[in-house]
Structure 1
Amino acid sequence: MSGLREKQKAERQRRLVRAAAAHFREAGFEKTRIEEIAATAELSAGTVYNYYRHKGELLIAVVAMEVHEVLAAGEPLVQHPPETAESAINALIDTYLDHALVYLSKDNWRHAMAAAIAQPDAVLARRYTELDARLADQVRRLLDSLQQRGAVRADLDTIAFGKMIFNNTNQLFTEYVKEEGQELAELKAGLRAQHAALCRLIA
């Protein structure tokens, strides 16, 4: 019975998070009400609060869903990266960026970032930080694969370099979501120029 209960709980959470993502994108984070999310998920508002204490936690749950899907999409590149370091890094980072606005609008991302910064010791902020760490580690593992192949220098510190690539991506992504008019192609072009310069140092 416990296995069935866990499956039912996971299914309710899945419905809640997908319903929240839809409402946040359509109406915006501020205008979305818990009752609306509950109705879409075919659950009571009380049930929502059994899983999430407030909308902020639901927003981070949507971020987590996005990151988990991005990590899964990036794994084939880690296991079988493109031939050069530059093409491999661009491909992985493009995977992150192409998925970034599937569930979350720029407005949603701004609220998620603000919540993580405003309450750094809160559970949702720690969760946000953990997700970033998992993405940075995937970049590191990509570099490890390239290093084993001989596509990057043998003495490269893949942990430090992986963090640097991800942190730079994160910084430019933050600027991208702050500027409503900036297009994704512009963000990608800026990152690709920087990756080209970096890869000349490590190949």
Structure 2
Amino acid sequence: MTGLRERQKADRTRRILEAASRLFRAQGYDAVRIEDIAAAAEVSAGTCYNYFSTKGDLLLSIVSMEVEEVIEAGRALVLSPPSDVARALVELIRIYYDHSLNYLSKEMWRKAMAISIEAPATPFSRHYTQLDAMLSAQVCELLSALKLRGLTRGDLDPAVLGQIVFSALNQLFIEFVKDDAMPMHDLHRASEAQTIALAALMRPQPERMA
């Protein structure tokens, strides 16, 4: 019975989150009420409030769902990366970007970012920061794997490099979500140019003849 209850709870949670995502995208975050989400998910408003106290909780859970799925999608690449640093990084970043609008609109991303910045001491902001840290850690993990294969310079620290790469891709993503008219292919083009330049600095230098 416990297993059944847990599955039912997980199903209701997923239905509520998917309904919230659809309504936020279609009507805008500020226009949607918890009651609207409950009706779309075919649960009572009370049930919805039991699971999520505020719309902010719902938004953060949607961001969490997005990040968890994208990290899972990137895991296979990290375990078996391409043998070229630039290609490996570009492919991982492309996974992040291509998945980013599955559940969230640009407006939803802006709202989540704004809440995390406006109230840095809140659980929302701390959790949002943790999600960024999870993505940054995966980039570091990829660079560690590439270093073990001798594909990056031995004197470079994958943890530091990963943070630099993530900061660059994250800043470009912020610019992307700020501009409703910017297409995804422009984001990819800008990111690939930066990533290729960074990767060139990471590659082992050929030994010079004495």
Regarding TM over 0.5, the answer is: yes
CA distances 1:138-169 after superposition (whole Å, capped 9, x unpaired): 00111111111111112221111111111111
Residue 41 of structure 1 is matched in structure 2 by 41
Deviation of residue 4 (structure 1)?
2.9
1:1-203 mapped onto 2 (5 Å cutoff)? 1-203=1-203
Mapped to 1, the partners of 2:10 and 2:160 lie a distance apart of 36
Say how many residue pairs are matched. Answer: 203
Q: Secondary structure at the match of 1:81?
A: coil
Bigger mean CA deviation after superposition, 31-40 or 88-97: 31-40
The residue type equivalent to 1:21 in the other structure is: S
| Structure 1 counterpart of 2:207 | none
Amino acid at match of 1:168: A
* RMSD of equivalent CA atoms: 1.1
Aligned partner letter, 2:17: V
The amino acid across from 1:79 in the alignment is: L
Q: Using the TM superposition, name which of 88-97 and 22-31 deviates more.
A: 22-31
* One-letter identity of the residue aligned with 1:109: W
Give the whole-Å Cα distance in 2 for the aligned partners of 1:170 and 1:193: 14
CA distance in 2, matches of 1:7, 1:124: 26
Give the letter for the 2:97 counterpart: L
Q: What SS does the corresponding residue of 1:131 show, helix, strand or coil?
A: helix
CA distance in 2, matches of 1:106, 1:157: 33
1:35, CA displacement in angstroms?
Answer: 1.0
Deviation at 1:7, TM superposition (A): 2.4
* 1:178 to partner: Cα distance: 0.7
Q: What is the CA–CA distance in structure 2 between the aligned matches of 1:162 and 1:13, rounded to whole Å? A: 33
> SS state of the match for residue 59, structure 1?
helix
Measured in 2, the distance between the counterparts of 1:45 and 1:121 equals 29
Rounded Cα–Cα distance in structure 1 between residues aligned with 2:7 and 2:181: 42
Q: TM-score, normalised by structure 2?
A: 0.93
C-alpha distance in 2 between matches for 1:155 and 1:39:
57
SS in 1 for 2:129: helix
TM-score normalised by length of structure 1: 0.96
Letter aligned with residue 76 of structure 1? A
Partner SS state of residue 31, structure 2: coil
What SS does the corresponding residue of 1:30 show, helix, strand or coil?
A: helix
- Deviation of 1:2 after TM superposition, in Å, equals 3.3
Q: Structure 2: 5+ residue runs without aligned partners?
A: 204-210
Distance 1:17 1:126 in 2: 20
Tell me, which stretches of 5 or more residues in structure 1 are unaligned? none
Rg larger for = 2
